[in-house]
Chain A
Amino acid sequence: MTRLEVRKTYKLYVGGKFPRSESGRSYQVSDAKGGFLANVAQGSRKDARDAVQAARAAFSGWSGATAYNRGQVLYRVAEVMEGRRSQFVDEVAALEGLSKAAAASVVDLAIDRWVWYAGWSDKIGHLAGGANPVAGPYFNLSVPEPTGVVAVLAPQESSLLGLVSVLAPIIVTGNTVVLISSQDRPLPAVTLAECLATSDVPGGVVNVITGRTAEIAEHLAAHADVNGLDLAGAAPDQLVPLQVLAADTLKRVLAPQPGTPTADWTQTPGLERMLPFLETKTVWHPKGT
C-alpha cells in the first residue's frame, strides 16, 4: 500500500509570514505535461501594496545591517536551500519538464549562484566605491548605498535558477524586494520563501507574490514607494508600458535589452544586476589643522 502524502499548500510570503491572498483567489498550476500540481494564491494589487509596506518597513534594518551580517544571513539561506534540495529538484523537474538529473544540476547551480552572491556583500564596496583623487585639500569618498524597495518580475521560464539570479543580487547589497514569481512556474519561489523564513532573514526583506504577472506588475511599476524595477519576467508587450509607468517616479529600471534572446541563466553573471540598484554617495571633507 503506497502511503498517502501530505500535500503542500502554496501561499504568499509577506512581512515574514505566509498569508493567503486578501482577494481569496487562487489559480491552478500544472506541470510540464499539463497535469495538476497545486492551487496557488492569486495575488492582488492589495497584496502587492501590503508587500511594499512590509518591504519599506524592513529596509532600514536590512540596509543598516553590516555587510558581514548580510553575507552571513545569505550564506545561511544557501545552507537551508541545500537541505531542501530534493524538494526543489522535484518542483523544477515537474514544472520545467526536466529529468531528475537535469533538474538536479539546475538546482545545484542555483544554490552555488546564491553562495556567489552572498560573498559579494562585503566586497561590492571595494569595487563600486573608493576614495577619489580630487584636485584640492579634500578627503573625498564615494560609497555605494542600496536604493530602497525594488519590485522584481521573476523570469517566467527558469523557475529557480532565474529566480535566484535576479533576487540575490538585489538583496545582498541591502535592498528589500517585492517579487512577482513566474506565473506558471511559481512553486520554487514559495519553497525559497520558506528557506528565507527559516534563515534569519528579517520579515519583509523579501516578499513573494504569486499570481498573474501582468495584473500585479503595473501597480508595482506605478507605486510611488517602489524605488527600483527589475523587468526580467515581463512579457515583451509589457516592457514599454511598464517602463513608462516607472518613469513617473524615475524608478531605476533594469530591463532586458530589446531584441535579445531569452537570458541564459547558466552563464556566470558579473556586477550588472547589483549596480543598477545602488546609489553612489560622494562625501567631501577638508583636510586642515
Chain B
Amino acid sequence: MDGTKNVAATKAKTTLDTVPAVGFEYAPAPESRAVVDIAPSYGLFIGGEFVEGGEGSTRFDSLNPATEEVLSSVTAAGVGDIERAVTAARTAYDTVWSKLSGSDRGKYLFRIARIMQERAREFAVLETLDNGKPIKESRDFDVPTAAAHFFYYAGWADKLEYAGLGSSPRPRGVVGQVIPWNFPLLMLSWKIAPALAAGNTVVLKPAETTPLTALLFAEVCRQADLPPGVVNIVTGDGETGRLLVEHPGVNKVAFTGSTEVGKAIARSVAGSGKGLTLELGGKAANIVYDDAPIDEAIEGIVNGIFFNQGHVCCAGSRLLVQESIADDVVARLQRRIGTLRLGDPMDKNTDVGAINSAAQLERITELTAAGEAEGATRWTAACDLPGRGYWFAPTIFTNVSQAHRIAQQEVFGPVLAVLTFRTPAEAVAKANNTPYGLSAGIWSDKGSRVLWTADRLRAGVVWANTFNKFDPASPFGGYKESGYGREGGRHGLVPYLMSGASA
C-alpha cells in the first residue's frame, strides 16, 4: 500500500488512507421498521374478526428479545374464548367449508399465498422484531417458505383422491393446532395449509413469545375473504394450549414443541378418538467422514447449529467427526465462527440474532455451565454482546462423551457438542444412541457410504452433504421421541384426512 501514498503531492487524501487495520468493516445496514404497523394491543381472531378476550382471559406483553422493548399487548385466551373459537370453527365447517368444492378451497389458499408474498416485507420485519432472528433469515427463508407451503397445499385441495386415502377421503373436522416460537410464521403455514386444503377448519394457538405474525396472518385471511371461522387465532400461554387440545370439540390435534409437552398431550388425548401428530425435540448428529468436502461441511455444521440461533428442533447439535480429521475440523470451525456477525437482528448483515426469551437464555446458560462442570472443554466465540436483550455467543464443546448432559439434552441454543468416531458403524451407533430421532447429517464424498449411513440412521430427515433444507414437497418429522406424523408432501395431508371411497 505504500506505493499508493507516494503519488504526487497534489493528489487528495482518499478514503483508503483511513483504512482500518482490521480490514473490511461493515457499516450498519438497518432494515426499516416503518413498513410494519403494530397495534398497541390485540384481541383474539375468532369467527372472522378480532374480539376482546372474555372472562378468564388475561393480557400479557410481547417483547422484542433484542431490546426488551414491549411491542404490543396480547390476550391470553380463557376457557370461554376457547369455547367460542372451537364453536366458530365447527359452525364454519358445518355450514360453509365442508360444502365448498376442493377447487374453491384451493383458490382461497392461493389467495392467501399471494397476499403473503405481496406483504412479504411486513411479515419479515415483524417476525424479526417479535422473534429476534436476523432479518436476513426471515426475509430470505421464513417468509418465502411459508408462502410456498400455502402454494403447495393450495394445489392439493382439489386432488384429495390422489392422496392415497381412497377415492373420497374426508376431513377430520375441527383441528386444534399449537405451534412453537422458533419459526412462528413458518410453523403456522405448516399447520394451517394442509389442514385447510384437506377441508378442515382450524383453531391455532401461536407461541406465547411470538404471537404477532399469526395476528398479521389473521388480517391476510380477511383480505382473502376467507369465510369467517375457517381460521381462528387464539393467543395465549401453555395453559391456553392445554385448554385447546383438551377441548372435546376438536377432532384432531397437531403440536410442535417440546417432547415433555408432547407426551402430556398424548396422555390427554388417550381414548378420545382425536387424531394426533407431534413434532418434538431433537439432538441431531451431524456425521463428518474423513472424505467430506471439508469447506462445505464446515458451512453445514455452522448452519446446522447456528442458523436461527440454534433454536431449531432439527439442529445439528452434535458434531460426530471422524477422529483422524477432528482437530482440523474444529480449528476450521473456530475460524469460520469468527466471521459470524452477532447483533441487531434488524441489521441486514447480522448472522446470529437474539435468544428468544429470558427463560430460554437461562436454560442455555444452565446447560452450558453443566457442560463445563462435566469436564468438556468450552470454546466461545469472541463477541461483543449488546447491553440490552437476550444474547448467547456461539459456543463449541470438545472432549464431549455420550454420557454428558450436553450430548443428551436438547439445548435449543447456539451450542455445539463435538464427539469423535473411528468407523462408520461407530458413527451410526453414536448417532442413534438417543431417545430422539428427528434429523441427521452425513458428510462424505462417497455416494455408497452416504446411502449406507442414511439407511441405518433412525431419523426422520437425513441431510447428506447439506443441512437444514426444507421444501413444502418434502416430508418432515421424527422417529422415536421426536414425535410422529409428517408435515410436507403428500404425507403431510394424511393426518388431516380420513380414508373414504365415493358411494
Contact = CB atoms under 8 A, between A and B. Distances in A.
Q: In the complex, is A directly touching B at CB under 8 Å? A: yes
Interface of A: 67-68, 71-72, 75, 112, 115-116, 118-123, 125-127, 137, 139, 271, 285-289
B189 to A, nearest CB: 14
B103 A115 contact: yes
Contact of B490 (A119, A121, A123, A137): A123
Given A71-B151, A112-B103, A126-B490, A119 B452 contact: no
Contacts of A116: 103, 158-159
Contacts of A139: 451
A34 B72 CA distance: 68
A28 B455 CA distance: 65
22 contacts: A68-B151, A68-B471, A72-B151, A75-B151, A115-B103, A116-B158, A118-B155, A119-B154, A119-B155, A119-B158, A120-B155, A120-B159, A122-B473, A123-B152, A123-B490, A285-B447, A285-B448, A286-B448, A287-B451, A287-B452, A288-B448, A289-B453
B122 to A, nearest CB: 21
B489 interface: yes
Given A120-B159, A123-B155, A289-B424, 17 more contacts: A68-B472, A75-B151, A119-B154, A119-B155, A119-B159, A122-B472, A123-B159, A123-B162, A123-B473, A126-B473, A126-B490, A137-B452, A285-B448, A287-B448, A287-B451, A288-B449, A289-B448
A71 B155 contact: yes
The list of the 7 closest CB pairs from A to B, nearest first, reads A119-B155, A287-B451, A287-B452, A289-B424, A288-B448, A126-B490, A139-B451
Nearest to A127: B162
A121 B151 CA distance: 11
B123 interface: no
Interface of B is mostly: helix
A289 B449 contact: yes
Contacts of B453: 289
A288 B154 contact: no
A286 B106 contact: no
Contact of B452 (A71, A122, A123, A288): A288
B148 interface: yes
Contacts of B155: 71, 118-123
Contacts of B425: 289
Interface string B144-188: 000010011011111100100000000000000000000000000
B103 A286 contact: no
Contacts of A115: 103, 106-107, 110
Contact of B473 (A67, A72, A271, A288): A67
B449 to A, nearest CB: 5
B322 to A, nearest CB: 12
A286 B152 contact: no
A125 B474 CA distance: 11
A127 B107 CA distance: 23
Contacts of A122: 152, 155, 472-473
Contacts of B490: 123, 126
B432 to A, nearest CB: 16
B489 A126 contact: yes
Contacts of B455: 287
Interface in B59-108: 103, 106-107
B471 to A, nearest CB: 8
A187 B157 CA distance: 32
Interface in B186-233: none
Among A71, A75, A126: residue with most chain B CB under 10 A = A126
Interface string B322-353: 00000000000000000000000000000000
A72 B447 CA distance: 33
Contacts of A120: 155, 159
A121 B148 CA distance: 13
Contacts of A121: 155
Nearest to B491: A126
A246 B497 CA distance: 44
